[in-house]
Structure 1
Amino acid sequence: MFAGSYCGSPPSLAEVATRWNFDPALLAVLALGLALSLRAGNRLATVGMALLAIAFVSPLCAASVTLFSARSLHHLLLILGALCFAMAMRESEVSSRLARSLFRRRVPVGPATIGMTAVLWGWRVPSLYDAALADMLVYWTMQLSILASSFAFWLAICRASAVGAVGGLLGGTVQMGFLSALLTFATEPLYRIHIAAAPSWGISPLADQQLAGLIMWVGGMAPFAIGAAAIARNAWARQNAAQPAPVVSRNPV
């Protein structure tokens, strides 16, 4: 029932621009999420839905069947989307009873970082990765687990103290760097489908894999840099809010 690649067969370079994904179930879910974010007036949630649309609707979905480097970009969009959703929930904490309830249940940074790391590394095991591109149920398990574990990580970062948040960001950065290095400096290609499909785009499977590692190494730092900037901004705002207002002396005339 679920056999086959969700994004279809590997496209040629000439046809990839025409390979948009108009799966009705996917479009319905994305449209519902977009409608809810627009109704709430939450721009960050809207950006998150837009990132998911790029990942799953645009030709990037089909390109990720051919190139492992496109798959790495695809997963980075999921991590960025999860960051947007976590920050969106943080912003709605004041106005939403549900959000306040969720945020009171603090997610420890350490377990959240370990969970995200385990998911990202686990889906890079060649046998699991190949299974995800051969079975749609496994494929969606991969996508949703990456999105959910990344969201849990960013949620923990948003709720942590400054020290805890910095520790989590450093841990996330280090694990991403190690995973990227393993892919970049590997001496042979690891993933069966890309070994067969990448040469049709004029790139060797090993070069494609090394490019994927570089994308994760350089581009993978972007979510953590954005998260660090958001934490610094929030800490600055809290510090300014905690400072007492200056007392203006009034001299009698």
Structure 2
Amino acid sequence: MSNWQGSYCGPAPIPADLLSRWNIEPWALAILVTLALWAGRNRPGAAAIIVLAFAFLSPLCALSSALFSARVVHHVLLVAVAAPLFALSRPARRTTGVGLPFLQATVALWLWHAPVAYDAALGHMAVFWAMQATLFGSAYLFWRAVFSQPGGSGVGWVFLAYLAMGLLGAILTLAPNAVYATHATAPLLWGLSPLSDQQLGGLVMWMPAGLPFAVWGWMLARRAWREMGELQ
């Protein structure tokens, strides 16, 4: 088997082995260190590195090879927690348009959750990292643009981004059949059918994933309120 076959997170674990499945790869640690240097010495950047370390080094990574629902948690951490934290650590110097970054981030999210693209990403290392890079990169550019908007004008874009993820989650939750070949058997080891695992992942996208979006929306609304107070 080629070294490029399979996912960085490794094969699907059985429950008894999960806690031993840490991914302490030297090159992964090097990437995190590089990102930490790029983010700079600030709290949002440090928090983003912690989130990424949890996503890519902890047993969550291995669990996401077994369960689609765990992969959804992984992606939510990537695009709705780590990416906006990085955007706060490396803010735009001027107001930038949000429309194009929103479109890019939405297309990346939907494209990589199409069954063919998703299964390809979890079956080949290069495609896997292309998935991670485009999801994170497009999300970072979106949040950076949103946070650059004056007052609370970015709140609407945060809501639209949540709707884009929530709609995808609703479709996966309500789908009559499991659509990901990657998760055709592994969920059974965890007491879930492939369809129920997919439905759980869809529900995570649909509802709990709204929590980080609500936090960022509240932050922008609070910023707008403070700016209005300063103008009075």
- What is the TM-score of this pair, normalised by structure 2? 0.93
- Corresponding residue to 1:146 among 107, 120, 135: 135
**What is the aligned-residue identity percentage?**
41
> 1:11 is matched by which residue type in structure 2?
P
> Offset at 1:193?
1.3
Q: Pick which of 134-143 and 24-33 moved more.
A: 24-33
> 1:144 is matched by which residue type in structure 2?
A
Deviations 1:160-187 (A, max 9, x none): 2446413312211211121010011111
Deviations 1:54-89 (A, max 9, x none): 000000000000000000000011011001111222
Contact conserved, 1:70 with 1:212, CA < 8 A, in 2? yes
**Corresponding residue for residue 24 of structure 2:** 22
Contact conserved, 1:129 with 1:191, CA < 8 A, in 2? yes
Is the partner of 1:107 in helix, strand or coil?
coil
**Corresponding residue for residue 185 of structure 2:** 196
Contact conserved, 2:146 with 2:157, CA < 8 A, in 1? yes
1:187 aligned onto 2:176: yes
> 2:211 is matched by which residue type in structure 1?
A
Q: 4+ residue stretches of structure 1 with deviation over 2 A?
A: 31-37, 161-164, 236-243
1:131 aligned onto 2:136: no
> 1:84 is matched by which residue type in structure 2?
L
**Corresponding residue for residue 12 of structure 1:** 14
CA separation of 1:167 and 1:35: change in aligned 2, threshold 3 A:
closer
**Corresponding residue for residue 87 of structure 1:** 88
- What is the TM-score of this pair, normalised by structure 1? 0.85
Contact conserved, 2:159 with 2:217, CA < 8 A, in 1? no
Deviations 1:185-207 (A, max 9, x none): 11110100101211111110000
1:172 aligned onto 2:170: no
Contact conserved, 2:152 with 2:223, CA < 8 A, in 1? no
Q: Distance in 2 between matches of 1:170 and 1:162?
A: 16
> Offset at 1:212?
0.2
RMSD: 1.6
Is the partner of 1:167 in helix, strand or coil?
helix
**Corresponding residue for residue 57 of structure 2:** 57
- Corresponding residue to 1:216 among 205, 215, 223: 205
Is the partner of 1:28 in helix, strand or coil?
helix
Q: Which runs of 5+ in 2 are unaligned?
A: none
> 2:73 is matched by which residue type in structure 1?
L
> 2:93 is matched by which residue type in structure 1?
F
